[in-house]
């Protein structure tokens, strides 16, 4: 039986405990899980792609089958290059589902051999997003328990 390689794509700006929940569970399901950091030139992220990759590598060290990489362009092209068969996407609410369904169907049209798997985070993280964490940090709010400690430190250093 061949190895099942999955790609979990996202901006991870910054990585949250919700992301880590999906990574931990994905590492149990797939033989190899690639966390693909999207380098979107149209967005102005708080952390550079290199910083996001560095943080992700640090917080995923415990899972030997997890790899962190960076990509740009079409996700299905990246998935093809990495010889993956699965795209992992997190869904927190019905509003996420509508967008993710549209993307999954388009990806299937572009690459019928690749499946999209939707995973729901633990209920503790169902409301959590990188955007909310950035906003809370920018206004000096408490972010303990929302992100790994190393990410919290980096956020505090980045946001005055």
Q: Tell me which of 85, 92, 108, 158 is the catalytic residue.
A: 92
Give me the phi and psi of 86, to 5 degrees please: -140, 140
Q: Tell me which of 2, 28, 41, 43 is the catalytic residue.
A: 43
Structural domains for the chain: 5-126 (3.40.50.620)
Q: Tell me which of 11, 19, 52, 134 is the catalytic residue.
A: 19
Is 89 designated active site?
no
* Residue whose C-alpha is closest to residue 111's, from 128, 86, 94: 86
Looking up tokens 């328990």, which residue turns up?
145
Written as tens digits, the pLDDT of the chain (160 aa) is 689 999 999 999 999 999 999 999 999 999 999 999 999 777 789 999 999 999 999 999 999 999 999 999 999 999 999 999 999 999 998 888 999 999 999 999 999 999 999 999 999 999 999 999 999 999 999 999 999 999 999 999 988 7
Rounded to two decimals, what is the model's pTM?
A: 0.95
Compute and round to an integer the Cα radius of gyration of the chain: 15
Structure tokens at 136: 């809370």
- Report yes or no: 136 and 107 within 8 Å, Cβ to Cβ: no
Is 130 designated active site?
yes
Structure tokens at 14: 């910054």
């Amino acid at each position: 039986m061949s190895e099942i390689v999955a790609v979990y794509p996202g901006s991870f700006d910054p990585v949250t405990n919700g992301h880590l929940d999906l990574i931990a569970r994905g590492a149990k399901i797939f033989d190899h899980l690639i966390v693909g950091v999207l380098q979107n030139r149209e967005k102005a992220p708080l952390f550079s792609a290199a910083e996001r990759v560095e943080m992700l590598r640090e917080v995923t060290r415990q899972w030997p089958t997890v790899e962190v990489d960076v990509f740009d362009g079409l996700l299905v092209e990246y998935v093809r290059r990495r010889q993956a068969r699965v795209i992992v996407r997190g869904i927190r609410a019905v509003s996420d589902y509508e967008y993710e369904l549209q993307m999954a169907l388009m990806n299937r049209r572009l690459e019928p051999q690749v499946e999209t798997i939707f995973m729901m985070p633990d209920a503790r993280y169902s409301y959590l997003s990188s955007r909310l964490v950035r906003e809370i940090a920018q206004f000096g709010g408490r972010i303990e328990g929302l992100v790994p400690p190393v990410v919290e430190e980096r956020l505090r250093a980045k946001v005055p």
